[in-house]
Structure 1
Amino acid sequence: MNWQAVNFDWNHIRAFLVTAEKGTLSAAAKALGSTQPTLSRQVCALEAQLKLTLFERLGQRLIITKSGIELLEHAHEMGKGALNFSLTATGQSQQIEGSVVVSASELTAAFILPQIIAHLRLEEPGITIEVVVTNQASDLKRREADIAIRNFHPKQNDLIAKKLGDEVIWLYATQEYLDKFPEKTSHSELTDIQMIGFDNSNLVIDLLNKQGWQLTKQNFSLITSNQMLQLALAKQGLGVIFLPEDVAAKEPSLVRAFEHLGPIMTLPIWLVCHQELRTSRRVRRVFDFIGQALKANLE
């Protein structure tokens, strides 16, 4: 290989790649944790070096040119190579000090992780813990997190997953709200119940109706994907919410609703990380520590 010919700044190529994927400099800057002027300079520098126009500027959006499209596949391959290089390097690191990023849902992050992290910090003060709080699945292959707590088994073969147990989901509400239904003991009698939902889809309605409920969208007049807001609304006596029993145990203002009808569902708890990171002493330590603590919490 003629190494003298390989004289491209990876930051410039990465700026081009992410800008092409996101469509705007502002979105690309947000994804990379950079600024719009910085990315603009990097893309312009790459265009000047290549003597090619990679994007046509149309207002706030950037339309990739034919030349850009031809180079985009190569940029993708370089991105994969850089990511694999980073994963392998991180995986071979045997230093315990450093950062580990953990992805968790809002309820897990707020109610379960703080005590676990407190104990971990006592035992491993040299490890910096960053928590990504999201109800979406963080992309471990793109390093959005090193470790993720999930309710499903990953499909990718290069991810390592360990099932820790199952969490049981019940309905919860304030006692004052449940006092409105003193004589109603069956699913079919609870047609005027108000449930605080996640979205406007029929998935939850269909799930519950298969269990014997007779619900419509009128039973879901409050909707938010933010689980902490759901909790706050339920504490105001505005309806019932779905909660794992280990989380609800930490919220004394709510009681289990219609316990005689049984739980709503059971969800598996998986701890997931990339196989390259699993060989890192630091990531392995956090993975094992969180795994043991979560498993004990579910038992």
Structure 2
Amino acid sequence: MDWRLINFDWNRARAFLVTAEEGSLSAAARALGLTQPTLGRQVAALEEELGVALFERAGHGLMLTPSGLEMMDHVRAMGQAAGGLSRVASGQSQTAEGLVSITASEILSVYNLPPVLAKLRQAHPGIRIDIVASNELRDLRRREADIALRNVRPTDPQLIARKLRSGRASLYAARSYVQAQGPFETLKSLVRADFIGFADNDVLIDGLNAAGVPVTADNFVLTSATHLVQWQMVQQGLGIGIMTDDVAAQTPDVVQLMPGIDPFEIETWLVAHRELSTSRRMRIVFDYLVEALG
């Protein structure tokens, strides 16, 4: 190999890769934690270094040029190799000290993880924990987190996964809402109720209809992309929402509606990259979560 030919700035290549994956400079800058001008300069510098245009504008986003498409597979392979190198380096540490990043849904992060982490910290005070509370799936292979708690089974063969439990979720409302708008004694009576959900509730509506709840999009008068906001609106008596039974049991002044219908099953999976099992602190946290939440 002629090492004189290797004069490649990985930061520029990473800027190109993430911009191509995200579809715009603004989205890529957020993903990398950079300012948009800084990211733009890195991409422009790579184009100047290679002597080719990698992107062309398409509406409000960016589209790869033929040269950019040709480079994409090579740079993606570089990204996977760089991630593997980072995992190997971090995995060599066998000390039970250091930072472990855990990503989980907002509900799990607020209601389920804190008591578990309190005991973990008592047992292993040298381990520091960073919680990434997000309902979006974080990319473990790109080290957006070390360990993930997910409600869907992962399909990536490079990840290890352990099914922790199957939880249940039901319909809940504040007592004040039921007193003001109820009674809700039959499934048919819910057709006049106010529901709280997401901006796009097609999947939720299909699930409710399958359970015999005759709701349509018109019933969802309050929406939010954030589960915690939805649950707070339920507690304030603004309508009916879905919540896991264990969280609802911790919440005063809410009641379960239609306890006779089958609850919604929710799986919880603990996920990590295979190579992270060589790190003692990662293994400790992973095994602790299995024991506490399994």
TM-score by length of 1: 0.88
**Aligned-partner SS, 1:268:** strand
Partner of 1:268: 267
Amino acid corresponding to residue 242 of structure 1 in structure 2: I
2:176 match: secondary structure: helix
Match of 1:208 in 2: 208
Structure 1 residues 21 and 136, CA gap change in structure 2 (3 angstroms): closer
Shift of 1:263: 4.4
Change (3 A) 1:28 1:166: same
Identity among equivalent positions (%) equals: 46
What's the counterpart of residue 287 of structure 2?
Answer: 288
Shift of 1:203: 2.2
- How far the C-alpha of 1:185 sits from its partner, in A, is 2.6
- What letter corresponds to residue 281 of structure 2 in structure 1? R
Distance 1:134 1:190, change over 3 A: same
Unaligned runs of 5+ in 1: none
Unaligned 5+ residue runs, structure 2?
Answer: none
Q: How does 1:1-299 map to 2 (within 5 A)?
A: 1-55=1-55, 62=62, 64-180=64-180, 184-259=184-259, 261-295=260-294
C-alpha deviations, 1:218-241, integer Å up to 9, x for none?
322222221111112112211111
C-alpha change, 1:71 and 1:294, in structure 2 (3 Å) is same
Shift of 1:257: 2.3
Query: Is the 1:198–1:224 contact (alpha carbons within 8 Å) kept by the matching residues of 2?
Result: yes
The CA RMSD measured in Å over matched residues stands at: 2.4
Letter paired with 2:270: L
Runs of 4+ in 1 over 6 A off after TM superposition: 57-60
Q: CA deviation at 1:109?
A: 0.9
Distance in 1 (CA, whole Å) between partners of 2:166 and 2:58 is: 50
Are 1:171 and 1:263, in contact at CA under 8 Å, matched by a contact in 2? no
Distance, in Å, in 1 between the alignment partners of 2:49 and 2:174 is 65
1:47–1:157 Cα change, 3 Å: closer
- Offset from partner CA, 1:62-110 (integer Å, 9 cap, x none): 5544433332322122112112222233334323222211111111111
Distance 2:57 2:196 in 1: 44
TM-score by structure 2 length? 0.89
- Structure 2 CA distance for partners of 1:181 and 1:22, relative to 1, 3 Å: closer
Q: Return the offset for 1:179.
A: 2.4
Task: Give, in angstroms, the shift of residue 132 of structure 1.
Answer: 1.2
Say if 1:169 and 1:263, in contact at 8 Å, map to a contact too: no
State the secondary structure of the residue aligned to 2:191.
Answer: coil
How many corresponding residue pairs?
294
- 1:165-216, CA deviations, whole angstroms, 9 ceiling, x for partnerless residues? 1111122111122224665432123321222122333322222222222222
Q: Is the 8 A contact 2:187 2:258 kept in 1?
A: no
Change in 2 beyond 3 A, CA 1:182/1:197: closer
CA contact (8 A) 2:201 2:217 kept: no
Check conservation: 1:197, 1:241, Cα contact below 8 A.
yes
Distance 1:48 1:197, change over 3 A: closer
Query: How far, CA to CA, are the matches of 2:58 and 2:196 in structure 1?
Result: 42
